């Protein structure tokens, strides 16, 4: 078993004061190991979004301990948490969260601009951002603005941005929520290939078909883990289907990295915004 990259110990999160309190999380202990692809599910109010905020260092627990990549981040102040987010976590949001008047290239570069210890030159940063965009099949869209791209392409920019600082985990919050089914499956194929290449991915979703791409599904209910189900190593039914379709379309073995997945996914989507 690989090292636990995410470890929570009796995490509790309480909102409110005095007699009116809501226990969004109530003693949650959880290990997510390096290289896992985990889907977090549950109804509204179950605690899944609160957990993601804590895992993403956007919030701190009221009680309990959170260890990320062997570092206890439970009681860090806001400045240190911001540093951890920039250095160790790549975010993919449902609404993309790109700057609307900024090119794909400059959107991808943003996390590098805030990295304290970066010693690479501006030219090297630009080269890396271009490499990330090429890796998700957008090498010919680097100077396009978000409104000049399809929804699927815009989300691929967000994936490239999430990868730019080589994070230890990728957090995806409803990554296909604003996409049609075809674009959604293209995005999930890229995430599946990132997982196959060794990335650790934690994803929140309401959609069981999307959760089936993950190897592990954790269901929350009333601030507790209700079910923790193992789909097997990269054998979620949707992941297997996507790999089979990729083989049928290309006439070769399924792609095994984000660059090839992105190129394949982009062939049809690119026509939408040409």
**pLDDT on residue 116:** 61
**pLDDT on residue 147:** 96
**pLDDT on residue 215:** 94
Residue 118: pLDDT band (50, 70, 90) is low
- If one counts every other C-beta atom within 10 angstroms of the C-beta of residue 18, the result is 5
What is the domain-level CATH number for residue 215? 3.40.50.300
**Residue whose C-alpha is closest to residue 87's, from 119, 126, 114, 52:** 114
Q: pTM of the full predicted structure?
A: 0.83
The total number of structural domains that make up the chain: 1
Mean of per-residue pLDDT scores for the chain: 86
- Beta strands across the sheet bearing 89-93: 89-93, 169-173, 201-204, 37-41, 216-221, 224-230
Residue 113 reports pLDDT greater than 90: no
Mean pLDDT, rounded, for 232-247: 50
Question: Residue 34 is part of which domain span?
Answer: 4-272
Mean pLDDT, rounded, for 16-24: 84
Residue 190: pLDDT band (50, 70, 90) is very high
Residue 250: pLDDT band (50, 70, 90) is very low
pLDDT in tens, 129-152: 999 999 999 999 999 999 999 999
How much of the chain, in percent, has pLDDT values that exceed 70? Answer: 83
């Amino acid at each position: 078993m690989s090292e636990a990259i995410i470890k929570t110990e009796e995490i509790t999160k309480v909102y409110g004061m005095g007699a009116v309190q809501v226990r969004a999380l109530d003693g949650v202990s959880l290990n997510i190991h390096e290289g896992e692809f985990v889907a977090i599910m549950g109804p509204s109010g179950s605690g899944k979004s609160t957990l993601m905020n804590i895992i993403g260092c956007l919030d701190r627990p009221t009680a309990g301990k959170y260890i990320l990549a062997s570092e206890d981040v439970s009681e860090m102040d806001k400045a240190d948490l911001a540093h951890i987010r920039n250095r160790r976590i790549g975010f993919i949001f449902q609404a993309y969260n790109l700057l609307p008047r900024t090119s794909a290239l400059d959107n991808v570069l943003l996390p590098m601009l805030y990295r304290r210890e970066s010693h690479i030159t501006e030219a090297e940063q630009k080269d890396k951002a271009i490499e990330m965009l090429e890796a998700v099949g957008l090498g010919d869209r680097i100077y396009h603005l978000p409104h000049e791209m399809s929804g699927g392409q815009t989300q691929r920019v967000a994936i490239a941005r999430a990868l730019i600082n080589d994070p230890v985990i990728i957090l995806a919050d409803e990554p296909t929520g604003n996409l049609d089914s075809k674009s959604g499956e293209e995005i999930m194929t890229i995430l599946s290939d990132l997982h196959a290449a060794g990335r650790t991915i934690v994803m929140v979703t309401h959609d069981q078909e999307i959760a089936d791409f993950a190897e592990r599904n954790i269901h929350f209910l009333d601030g507790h883990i209700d079910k923790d189900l193992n789909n097997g190593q990269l054998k979620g039914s949707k992941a297997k289907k996507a790999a089979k379709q990729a083989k049928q379309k290309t006439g070769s073995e399924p792609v095994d990295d984000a660059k090839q997945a992105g190129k394949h996914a982009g062939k049809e989507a690119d026509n939408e915004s040409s």
